[in-house]
Structure 1
């Protein structure tokens, strides 16, 4: 699975645009996987993208969590900018993140350090 780091989140009036560390022309034919996982060892939320042959992970690391929280609280739609002129809707992003945040709180299965880091920003 190719990992793609989120550089920052541009919060607009109605939508949030996820800016990738670099534009990925090979993502032009991907679709949203409609699920978020966690990488509790490296403190990241991971949104899954897929095409017919590969999976890709968009990594929302700690440096963008405050913007992630702001956009999530405003219930904004999330889009990933995959090229200069192309954005991909991150389907079910808010629902998936809300589910994970509910599940992480007080749950030692994610590791105490990750739980505390998430709590410091999101609760």
Structure 2
């Protein structure tokens, strides 16, 4: 079964975008896959991580998009951080840019989601 970890906040600190999970998730076995999905119903972008048996979805919800956009503009490394464990989300900005371009004006993602993405990332 796939696990989903939602990010509670995204802060730019010391030239890193630190993504903090909302729970005490176990990050020890996770490795970045460099691919993303869209959860238009949940207004979230999903970064895919792998572990030895399955995938874990890292949910990047709308409330943290503004900080992601700011970090993306300066190409600051995006890092999943919990305690002393840090994992760079390789390829995040490239994947996100690709998705944003596909979402722009595309009603297949739902008008509400498209509107939210355009307001944050394309304004």
What interval of TM-score do these two structures reach, taking the shorter chain for normalisation? over 0.9
Q: Distance in 1 between matches of 2:33 and 2:116?
A: 26
RMSD of equivalent CA atoms = 1.1
Counterparts of 2:76 and 2:97 in 1: how far apart (Å)? 13
Pairing 1:3-42 to 2, within 5 Å after superposition: 3-25=4-26, 27-42=27-42
Unmatched 5+ residue regions in structure 2?
Answer: none
* C-alpha deviation, 1:106, in angstroms: 1.4
Match of 1:59 in 2: 59
Q: Which runs of 5+ in 1 are unaligned?
A: none
What is the distance in 2 between the residues matched to 1:23 and 1:14? 24
1:22 is paired with a residue whose SS is coil
Q: Report the Cα offset of residue 97 of structure 1.
A: 0.6
- TM-score normalised per structure 2: 0.92
2:114 matched residue in structure 1: 115
Q: Number of aligned pairs? A: 121
Instruction: Tell whether the 8 Å contact from 1:23 to 1:84 is kept in structure 2 after alignment.
Output: no
Superposed structure 1 runs of 4+ greater than 3 Å apart: none
In structure 2, C-alpha distance between the alignment counterparts of 1:113 and 1:47, rounded to whole Å: 21
